[in-house]
Amino acid sequence: MEAIHLWWIGEKDPGARTLDHVRLHLGRALGTTVRIWEDPARPPDAYDTRRKQWSTSKILAWMGTAGPPGKVLAVTDQDLFIPILTFVFGEAQLGGRAAVVSTARLGEPGLPDPRVALERLAKESVHELGHCFGLVHCDTPGCVMGRSPSARDVDRKRGDFCSKCRDRVMRSGGEAR
């Protein structure tokens, strides 16, 4: 299986630990090599001045041309949106190549342990990449592909796939464990 790239496209420095944690988590869940893609380029016209948020569809389109080959997950600290929703934690091209996830709403102020936010980021990263492998939301309790419209829902999930979703990832070219 082709390596997956992890790309920081945020504003502030995420810290080596954050990206490394996500990289290891993705590698374990998908059973593949995950590499950090270092590129200072940022999506030029994805910021919506009226909403003061970043458009995921514009980011995903830009990643298709500006990013590395193969599947790629971009991580940002900017707040993301799709036009119909107030915000999203992330978005992916279903069965496609690109996915993006944001830390902006995963670590609310007053969170007692910063590791909680890091876990949430790791889970949402696996979740969005799961969509790139063609997975839709799953009803199996605890499966990382369970829908998670709130941070509480993210906390309820485990960080890996249920057996059904794992099989689907494997059938679509992944080596999930």
Partner 1 sequence: MTGENTRVLVVDDEEIVRESLGGWLQEDGFQVSSAPDGRTAVELMKRERWNVMLVDLKMPGMDGLQVLEEARKLQPEAAIIMMTAYATVDTAVTAMKLGAFDYLVKPFDPEELSLLMQKVVAQQSLVRENAVLRKALKKEHRFRDLVSKSAAMQRVFELAQVAARSNSTILVLGESGSGKEVLARTIHEESPRAGGPFVAMSCAALTETLLESELFGHEKGSFTGANARRKGKFEAAAGGTLFLDEIGDISPKLQLDLLRVLEERKFQRVGGNEPIDVDVRIIAATNKDLKKAVADGSFREDLFYRLNVIPVTLPPLRERKEDIPLLVEHFLDRLEAEMKKRVKVSPEAMGALLAHDWPGNVRELRNVLERGAVVAQGDVIKPADLGLAPAPVRAPGANAPGEPVSLEEVEKRHISEVLGHTGGNVSQAARLLGIDRVTLYNKIRKFQLRRDGEDSDPSGT
57 lies in the site for partner 1, by CB under 8 A: yes
In the block, residue with structure tokens 């199996």? 140
Question: Would residue 128 show up in a list of annotated catalytic residues for this protein?
Answer: yes
**88 touches partner 1 (CB under 8 A):** yes
* Stretch in the footprint of partner 1 (CB under 8 A) among 29-37, 63-71, 88-96, 167-175: 88-96
User: Least separation, in Å, of the C-beta of 111 and partner 1?
Assistant: 18
Q: Which of 13, 86, 110, 113 binds partner 1 (CB under 8 A)?
A: 86
Backbone angles phi, psi at 54, to 5 degrees: -105, 135
Write 163-172 long-range contacts (CB < 8 A, 24+): 164/138, 164/140, 165/130, 165/135, 165/138, 165/140, 168/133, 168/134, 168/135, 169/30, 169/130, 169/133, 169/135, 172/95, 172/133, 172/134
Tell me the number of residues near partner 1 by CB under 8 A: 21
Considering only residues 107 through 136, tell me which ones interact with partner 1, judged by CB under 8 A.
131, 136
Catalytic (active-site) positions: 128
Binding site for partner 1 (CB under 8 A): 57, 81-88, 91-92, 94, 131, 136-139, 147, 149-150, 153
